[in-house]
Amino acid sequence: MGQRQGAYETGTYRNVFLELGYSEEEIAARVEETWKRLFEGPEDTRIYYEAGDRMGYLLDTGNLDVRTEGMSYGMMMAVQLDRKDVFDRIWLWSHTHMLMSEGENAGYFAWSCNPDGSKRATGPAPDGEEFFAMALLFASHRWGDGPAPFDYGKQARDLLRTCVHKGEDGVGYPMWNRDNKLIKFVPNCEFSDPSYHLPHFYELFALWAYPEDRPFWKEAAEASRAYLRLACHPRTGLAPEYAHYDGTPNDDRGYGKFFSDSYRVAANVGLDYEWFAADEWQRGQADRIQAFFADIPPDDYRRYTIEGEPLEEKALHPVGLLATNAMASLAASGPHAEASVRLLWETPVRTGERRYYDNCLYLFAVLALSGRYRIWKPADER
């Protein structure tokens, strides 16, 4: 039997919930309920708020700020669920308040703002830019382009060009190291964050970015898959939050352990395998991380060394962790895949102060495991 083809080639997306016996009606209801709780629901679950007649934002409820991470996540959620109204509100808020027009970071988005739109930071976080670009390309393909700033495709391609070419004129820094093709934690540093690596996005950027940039993105996809093999521990599957370019943990500021950022690696591995099935290593990686957490109850999730030593600090986002481990089931072939998905199904969205990050990861997992986290191609490629 040959290697499985990914959904990009087949156009078919696994509905893992359906495979496990949940009905289409139950699954559709769960997706709709999750969206409503996050975007329209009561104050103990909502993370999205309208701002005036035309804008809206996602609030990091634990830090009471608006982050490019959450805004770009919200746009991806909206385009997947065909909510152009919400997408456009979030994008207009981001473009109006977060996009920087001067200084060394011109063309990037300020990673943190107050809910009134004033900036808390003058630097970017590359995970926001890559999600902005991907969501905008999907919007262009799904809905078509409008007048600026709703000319989604041009906005995405311009942003990707900035990410690669920034600094060539001596002002600022690129978001990817142009030599090794690895994404940086922030542009003016030379180390990475394993959870920022989205080879499944880069494969699509290699098709839809400006033609002169496409070879870079193809190389970046290959480089990121190779990097994740280095950064993820070969026995536990755990990755650090920050890592050097050789994959070893960067603990200079205490972020060399498996903690909140790291959770996204499992989700990214699962989705990359679902979309492209380009790296069979990902199946074993998904199995390893699910096996590590198989016998640990969510209320005892902690900070860990990547070798698996539990530390005293409890996880801030246990629901997010169990959600990403469930999403890894898109790649997993081991004995814990079903239990990981059923744990997600049986867990409600998080309530209270820390709900934002958990519930973003929760909705992504529900979309992915229901076959609703899809590649939106341009009309001539469908």
Cite the active site residues. 69, 261
**E strands in the chain:** 48-51, 55-58, 66-67, 112-113, 302-304, 310-314
Give the contacts of 209 (CB within 8 A, at least 6 positions apart): 156, 157, 160, 161, 217
Dihedral angle of Cα 276, 373, 23, 284, to the nearest 10 degrees: 40
CB 36 within 8 A of CB 86: no
Dist CA 50 CA 38 (whole Å): 13
Distances (CA, A) of 83 to 57, 79, 109, 115, 347: 14, 6, 23, 22, 25
Dist CA 210 CA 141 (whole Å): 15
- 211: which 2 tokens? 């033609």
Cis omega (within 30 of 0) on the bond before 149?
yes
- 235: which 2 tokens? 């026995």
Q: Pick from 377, 373, 280: which is nearest to 323 by CA?
A: 373
